[in-house]
A and B are shown apart, each in its own frame.
Chain A
Amino acid sequence: MHIPSEHVDSDSGRLLGGHCEHCQLSAYPAPPRCPSCLGPLAARPLAAEGKLYSYAMIHAGPRGRRLPYTVGYVDLPDGTRLFAHVAADDDTHLRTDMPVRLSLHPDGSGYRAIWTPSWPSAPNKEVADA
């Protein structure tokens, strides 16, 4: 998926989420204000590793998008949940709760983000997303 460059911390190369110090709440992408206390959110780099909560390979998708592609939700150690594109030619190699790792590739004005299973046995090939 496409990530605008302002969502990436140039020092660490990690995604930038929004964090509320008061509520200990993080979110990506950062909402305009904390949904819990309505206070401001500070930008904070997010972990690049997480667990794949669930996933689905989409075979019939929105017009203009290359098929199939695999989406999922990744849970980070700090509790943030991300909508993710997952590298998978064949989703039978994926499992719920498997560890996944983010890779960001420069792409036009921003980055292309894809989460890859980090099991040694899992295939490491990436699918191009539209």
Chain B
Amino acid sequence: MRDVVIVGADMTPFGKHLDRSVGALGAEAVLGALKDAGAERSQIDAVYSGNVTGGMLVGQRAVRDLGLGGIPVVNIENACSSSAAALREAYVAVGSGLHNTVVVLGVEKLTALGGGPLPLDDADHEVANGQMMPAIYAMRARRYLSEYGLSPTDLAAVAVKARRHGARNPYAYLRTETTVDDVLASRPIATPLTLFQCCPSGDGAAALVVTAAERAPTFEAPAVRIRASVLHSGEFRTGFRDMTSPDITVHSAQEAYEQAGIGPDDIDVIELHDAFTIAELLYYEALGLAERGRAAALLHSGATTFGGSTVVNPSGGLLAKGHPIGATGAAQAVEIVWQLRDQAEQRQVDGARLGLIHATGGGLSGVDHGACAVHILEAPRKQVARG
């Protein structure tokens, strides 16, 4: 595999885009990423598009009006990891030498569904009997709180941090801060989870331009190197499963650290999949930031907010930025690219050199999650002034 870099990144704000089609949202993000890279359309060899609910040919609908045609446009559905899976396909295609420069798109328009929890496959035994994603996370939360003697205020603190970060992010859906009391007083969804502990869905799009490292100088933006790109599916178990240790994230992260030749202590900034408050705590442990049972202590120490050793979800994460599912993985990558280029403005993590992206999800009984993608990105080399 040759070295692969990201040379273009852009996204639409997340939120309600009632007057825009999924194609129009996607086109805006792709155009932004091409401009950011200074890329000519003739340089684009393929498009990898992640989407879940938009129906047929979402990628083509997004790029048709941009004059991108006559090339492979591949539509990828992998639940919450759809556009993270698209990024991985781009990495494989460019790294193998099949293509030189490709576009990754993630786009979703969930307001088109009319709100509420996402519909899952009702041929699934659990789903047919009332299972839903908030309840799965609520059961993880209940078990975690009882195993480690924690309380719902520990969960609420995750939402408070997310909203504090999101308030600094013009691309976030929810841009107001909140308090532990308000989080706990918001209406119950699946106890112990309340409304403010569940991510808002919304609409949005994010796009990246991915190319081979040797071609990076032909583009305008600084090149962010992809140090690791991992995609795993969940493993079926019919018996006991430790719901406090998300195994698909544990083995995906392990492989990503091995690929990059680094460990969790080397990471400066992370965008992880905080679909619900409990998720952030479980993922601290699964990603190796905290020992088992120590995630809440890590959060309370301030280590995962601005000024801490590993800033988690500077964008506000899914809880504040929103979760238009197919767009999420690409948007996480856009945020980390901006962080590593020192372009994240009020939410910039000082001196960020290595960033990790984690997108996982998909409700399927018998597995932890349907899919999980982990990427590790490295900041551009500093330009050395020549005398």
What residues of chain A have their CB less than 8 Å away from a CB belonging to chain B?
Answer: 1-2, 25-27, 29, 31, 35, 53-63, 65, 69, 71-73, 75, 79-81, 83, 85, 91, 95-96, 129-130
| B133 CB, nearest partner CB in chain A, Å | 11
- Interface of chain A, helix or strand or loop or mixed? strand
Known: A56-B190, A95-B146, A96-B143. A61 touches B132 (CB 8 A): yes
A54 adjacent to B140 (CB under 8 Å)? yes
What residues of chain B have their CB less than 8 Å away from a CB belonging to chain A?
Answer: 116-117, 119, 125-126, 129-132, 134-135, 138-140, 142-143, 146-147, 187-193, 236, 238-241, 243, 365
B129 adjacent to A83 (CB under 8 Å)? yes
B126 adjacent to A83 (CB under 8 Å)? yes
Question: In the assembly, what is the distance between CA of A2 and CA of B126, in Å?
Answer: 11
Question: In the assembly, what is the distance between CA of A95 and CA of B265, in Å?
Answer: 36
Can you list 19 pairs linking A and B with CB atoms under 8 Å apart?
A2-B129, A53-B240, A56-B191, A57-B188, A58-B135, A60-B134, A60-B187, A60-B190, A61-B117, A62-B130, A71-B135, A75-B240, A79-B239, A79-B240, A80-B238, A81-B239, A85-B129, A85-B130, A130-B130
A54 adjacent to B243 (CB under 8 Å)? yes
B139 adjacent to A81 (CB under 8 Å)? no
| A97 CB, nearest partner CB in chain B, Å | 8
B238 adjacent to A73 (CB under 8 Å)? no
Measured CB to CB, the nearest residue on chain B to A65 is B130
Q: A59: which B residues are within 8 A, CB to CB? A: 187-191
B135 adjacent to A56 (CB under 8 Å)? yes
| B368 CB, nearest partner CB in chain A, Å | 13
Question: In the assembly, what is the distance between CA of A60 and CA of B186, in Å?
Answer: 13
| B5 CB, nearest partner CB in chain A, Å | 40
Question: Which residue of B139, B188, B236, B243 has the most chain A CB atoms within 10 A of its CB atom?
Answer: B139
